């Protein structure tokens, strides 16, 4: 019975870790004039090359592009493919295997009076998971200098449905762009 409870605790921990929010970071050029930005396009000749085909495939790439276009459109930016946008968008993705360790304290001999007798046991579980990172870079079209960068990190579940994967990309992009443009 004890081993079954420990197994259930470990499974619950792994399940909840998949629901963990994104870790979002942003940085920007404090001298950039974000108020003048109205149009964007994809960085010319920018292609993601990654050794792990699980990170980027045509569907994931399409999901990223759709999410960025939609999120920027909601903020009033329009896509300009005429070759004269105000800024370019580039994106990068990576995948890294991570290891985490969790230790639980187990007490035996509960007396019912908030006292414990008997030994305390520590049980430690180690598990590995894949952490994905999506980075968005905004580059000033005139100066070709980076003006804004956002990144989102989260656990990656390869067994998610295509809709769940698309929703996670949309969520990551939306979270990154919450504070864009900087005030």
Q: Report if residue 9 sits inside a domain.
A: no
Tokens 């259930």: give the residue: 8
Instruction: Classify 5 as helix, strand or coil.
Output: helix
70: which residues sit within 8 A by CB, 6+ positions away?
170
Helices (H) and strands (E) in the chain, counts: 3, 6
Q: Report if residue 44 sits inside a domain.
A: yes
**Looking at residue 171, which CATH number applies to its domain?**
3.30.160.670
Least confident of 13-27, 51-65, 153-167: 13-27
The 10s digit of each residue's pLDDT in 60-107 is: 889 999 999 999 999 999 999 998 999 999 998 888 888 888 887 765
Least confident of 33-47, 115-129, 138-152: 115-129
Backbone region of residue 141 per phi and psi (left: phi > 0; alpha: psi in -120 to 50; beta: other values): alpha
Q: Report if residue 111 sits inside a domain.
A: no
Please give the C-alpha separations between residue 143 and each of 23, 32, 69, 171, in angstroms, as whole numbers.
30, 11, 22, 30
Number of domains in the chain: 1
* Structural domain of 86: 22-99+128-179
User: By the 8 A CB rule, do 95 and 156 touch?
Assistant: yes
Q: Report if residue 72 sits inside a domain.
A: yes
Q: Report if residue 73 sits inside a domain.
A: yes
Q: What's the CA gap between 110 and 131, in Å, rounded?
A: 39
Q: Report if residue 74 sits inside a domain.
A: yes
Q: Report if residue 139 sits inside a domain.
A: yes
Q: Report if residue 35 sits inside a domain.
A: yes
């Amino acid at each position: 019975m004890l081993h079954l409870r420990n197994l259930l605790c470990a499974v619950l921990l792994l399940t909840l870790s998949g629901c963990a929010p994104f870790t979002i970071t942003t940085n920007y050029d404090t001298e950039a004039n974000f108020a003048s930005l109205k149009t964007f396009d994809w960085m010319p000749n920018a292609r993601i090359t990654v050794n792990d085909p699980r990170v980027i495939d045509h569907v994931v790439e399409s999901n990223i592009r759709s999410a960025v276009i939609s999120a920027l459109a909601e903020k009033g930016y329009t896509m300009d493919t005429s070759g004269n946008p105000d800024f370019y968008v580039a994106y990068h993705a990576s995948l890294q295997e991570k290891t985490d360790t969790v230790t639980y304290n187990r007490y035996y001999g509960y007396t019912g009076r908030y006292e414990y007798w008997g030994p305390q046991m520590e049980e430690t579980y180690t598990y590995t998971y894949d952490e994905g990172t999506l980075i968005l870079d905004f580059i000033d079209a005139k100066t070709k200098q980076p003006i804004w960068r956002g990144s989102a990190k989260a656990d990656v579940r390869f067994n998610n449905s295509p809709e769940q994967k698309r929703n996670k990309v949309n969520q990551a992009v939306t979270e990154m762009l919450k504070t864009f443009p900087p005030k």
